[in-house]
Amino acid sequence: MRREPPRTLADYAPIAFPALMLVIFFVVPFSTMIAVSFFQRDPAGFYSPAFTFANYERFLSAFFGGVLGFSIMLAVMVAIVCVLVAFPFTWLLTQASRRVQIVWLVAILSVLSLSEVIIGFAWSTLFSRTAGITNLLVMAGLMAEPQALMPGFGAVLTAMVYQALPYTVLVLYPAIVRLDPTLLEAARTLGASPMRAFLNVVVPALRNTIMATLIMVFVFALGSYLLPQILGRPQHWTLSVLITDQAIYQSNMPFAAAMAVFLVLMSLALVGLTLMVGSQREERT
């Protein structure tokens, strides 16, 4: 294969199409949003061009700060729970026979075809008092009478983990499949029980994969705005819910844009911090 640095303008031609797509579908809308975040709301209509920090000032309040904190906390929890559940699951899946693996992967992929709305309403039925899972516990004699498990934080977390879990498994799967199986066997011949070998050989050997998966699920969960509304109380609403509310129901585009910009900046900062901590640990070992 020819490997030379591009010289003429024509050499750059192959990247023209992706670059164009990136500009049209990312740079333009995102710049528009940043611009709008400095505009003024026009009570009569939409918004009028201006240059004001008022939207950002309004955001810097205890209320919105609290919502931002809650959103990030929720996304972090979803990411951690997803990885905690998906990592051992994916590991066990890779140990199974080829047929079993295919059946599971197809089932997991089919969950991806469900929309957030369907997932939300399905869980709201499952968590309800009249038709929910507590009825099964009552039938099994583990509970005195059926209870409603929603609205509440647990319900929001469960549904969001359910939604993000297939992505987590699909991101972890290729890395875990490629892991040398003799690493685990070597640890066992060196005196580690299977559980111990898993914890101090398999998990650390895949540290980078786990880190990348955590970040992916975190970003994915940060954008969720339907599930907190369907399954949570107002105090469980994320910043994404408030952005939707401002943009669609209050028609306050500039404020919605300011909040969105803030959310993006915060998540970028968090991801950057995580990567920095990760690379520092890498250098040390």
Partner 1 sequence: MSGLALQDVSKRFGDFTAVDNVSLSIPHGTFVCMLGPSGCGKTTLLRMIAGLEEPSTGTILLDGTDITPIPTHKRDFGMVFQSLALFPHLNVGDNIAYPLRIRGVGKAEQKKRVAELLDMISLQGYAERPVAKLSGGQRQRVAIARALALSPKLFLLDEPLSALDAKLREAMQVELRQLQQKLGITTIVVTHDQREAMTMADLVVVMGEGRIRQAAPPVEIYRKPADAFVADFIGSTNLLSVGADGALLGRAMPSLAMATRSAGGKLSIRPEDVQLVAAGSGMFAGTVSFVRDLGGTIETFVDVGGTTVVAISTPRERTPFKAGDPVDVTLPLESCVVLKG
Check binding of 93 to partner 1 (CB under 8 A): no
Binding to partner 1, residues 122-181 (CB under 8 A): 180
Check binding of 57 to partner 1 (CB under 8 A): no
CB of 190 to partner 1, least distance (A): 4
CB of 262 to partner 1, least distance (A): 37
Nearer to partner 1, 183 or 276 (CB): 183
Nearer to partner 1, 155 or 214 (CB): 214
Nearer to partner 1, 207 or 233 (CB): 207
Nearer to partner 1, 174 or 181 (CB): 181
Pick from 79, 159, 169, 201 the residue near partner 1 by CB under 8 A: 201
Listed residue (93, 102, 225) closest to 168, CA to CA: 93
CB of 197 to partner 1, least distance (A): 8
Pick from 176, 187, 221, 239 the residue near partner 1 by CB under 8 A: 187
User: What Rg do the C-alpha atoms of the chain give, in angstroms?
Assistant: 24
Nearer to partner 1, 130 or 189 (CB): 189
Check binding of 97 to partner 1 (CB under 8 A): no
Check binding of 193 to partner 1 (CB under 8 A): yes
Cβ-based burial of 211 (10 A; exposed 0-12, middle 13-18, buried ≥19): middle
Check binding of 196 to partner 1 (CB under 8 A): yes
256, 59 Cβ separation under 8 angstroms? no
Pick from 6, 46, 57, 185 the residue near partner 1 by CB under 8 A: 185
Nearer to partner 1, 117 or 199 (CB): 199
Integer Cα distance of 116 and 120 in angstroms: 6
Interface positions with partner 1 (CB under 8 A): 180, 182-183, 185-194, 196-197, 201, 204-205, 207, 285
